[in-house]
Copies of this chain bind each other. A is one copy, B any other.
Amino acid sequence: MWSRCRARLLPFALLPVFLAASAAFAQSDPLSSWSDGAAKKAIIAFVHDTTDSSSPHYVPPESRIAAFDQDGTTWVEHPIYTQVVFCLDRVPAVVAKHPELRDVEPFKTVLSGDQAAIAKLTKLDLEKIAAATLSGMTVDEFTAEVKRWIATAKDPRWHKPYTQLTYQPMLEVMKYLRTSGYKVYIVTGGGQDFVRAYSMTTYGVSPEQVIGTAGGVTYGYARDSKPILTKDAKLLLNDDNAGKPEGIHLVIGQRPQIAFGNSTGDRQMLEYTSAGDGARLSLLVLHDDAQREYAYGPARGLPDTKVGAFPPSLYDEAKAKGWIVISMKNDWSQIFPFEEMRRAPK
């Protein structure tokens, strides 16, 4: 009789303890906006495996390198890359300085404001615009210009600054890796100097941990004879596709232990990372949540798209090589930092 009573009472007696333990777990869960699926488990197991000094896959702190693509991996890339918007917005200032460009394509189309025509600009057009808008000033002037722009420009769907359209689960992974002794790098096809201007405040990633497409700079002296570095239009590193592992070697000199991407531009970085010795992890973000973000690539059966190309062959390679595919819809209970926390249904 006593034992039955005890059995009934025990749960209530222990309830405060359970609640406290549960709260402590929620507080200490470094990936609280991830659902308890295979992706979250793989990340946590990888970190334990590489940072526990008794593990056969232990990695010393100086070799703990993590690489994150940016567009489509740590923030929204649709419907158009943020940096392209920046370059288009800068065209009037460039034309004011170089009036001879006013009637020259593609600058003429950009100045017309005709959105349908602007949407049809080719890759070559965009490269011309990038070369004109990302060079010809000192590196300090450029950084100040990006900071001014990014503080006010807004995404057309959420009407929020682009820097608020980062993915909360990825911010958590970056922080989790950092607190586990990893150096967290952004490895982006976007402009190196562009991303560096906001990487610290947006991701907690300092400028030297941003690798991106980089033009040359030229050392010289200003009129007051102060040394200056001027951005020129010469391409030094095209940090996309094979350029990603090549850029990683140039800047880091070590193979990452873990890498995150979402498109064909990340294929070689993911291949290179997972081919290393010991514990390596490559992860691929699948955009399959049209309601909370976007659905494109394999999620919509599209072989390719203008932004964030993700053909079925990349999906197949991920499966064949044991890369982790992250489903935004199923693996992320929260997408953006500004959203209220919504728990995925159990």
Footprint of B on A, CB under 8 Å? 62-63, 65, 139, 183, 192-193, 196, 200, 206-208, 210, 214, 216-219, 226-227, 229, 236-237, 242, 245-246, 249-254, 268, 271-272, 275
Complex Cα distance A226/B271, Å? 9
- CB contacts (< 8 Å) of A252 on chain B: these are 207-208
User: Other than the known A217-B250, A227-B271, A229-B272, what 9 A-B pairs have Cβ atoms closer than 8 Å?
Assistant: A62-B200, A63-B206, A207-B253, A208-B253, A214-B250, A216-B246, A217-B249, A229-B246, A229-B249
- CB contacts (< 8 Å) of A254 on chain B: these are 206-208
Pairs across A and B, CB under 8 Å, 30 listed: A65-B208, A139-B249, A183-B208, A192-B250, A193-B253, A196-B253, A206-B254, A207-B252, A207-B253, A208-B251, A208-B252, A208-B254, A217-B246, A218-B242, A218-B246, A219-B245, A219-B246, A219-B268, A219-B272, A226-B275, A227-B245, A227-B271, A229-B245, A229-B246, A229-B249, A229-B272, A236-B236, A236-B237, A250-B251, A251-B251
Complex Cα distance A271/B275, Å? 43
Name the distance in Å between A69's Cβ and chain B's nearest Cβ.
Answer: 16
- CB contacts (< 8 Å) of A236 on chain B: these are 236-237, 250
Contacts A206-B62, A218-B246 hold; do A192 and B227 have CB atoms under 8 A apart? no
Q: Which residue of B lies closest to A254 (CB)?
A: B207
The residue from B227, B245, B253, B275 contacting A268, defined by CB atoms under 8 A apart? B227
Q: State the number of copies, please.
A: 2
Complex Cα distance A16/B170, Å? 58
Complex Cα distance A206/B226, Å? 32
Complex Cα distance A210/B229, Å? 20
A-B residue pairs, 7 tightest by C-beta: A207-B253, A219-B242, A62-B206, A208-B252, A227-B272, A196-B253, A227-B271
Q: Which residue of B lies closest to A211 (CB)?
A: B251
Complex Cα distance A139/B250, Å? 11
Complex Cα distance A297/B268, Å? 48
- CB contacts (< 8 Å) of A207 on chain B: these are 252-254
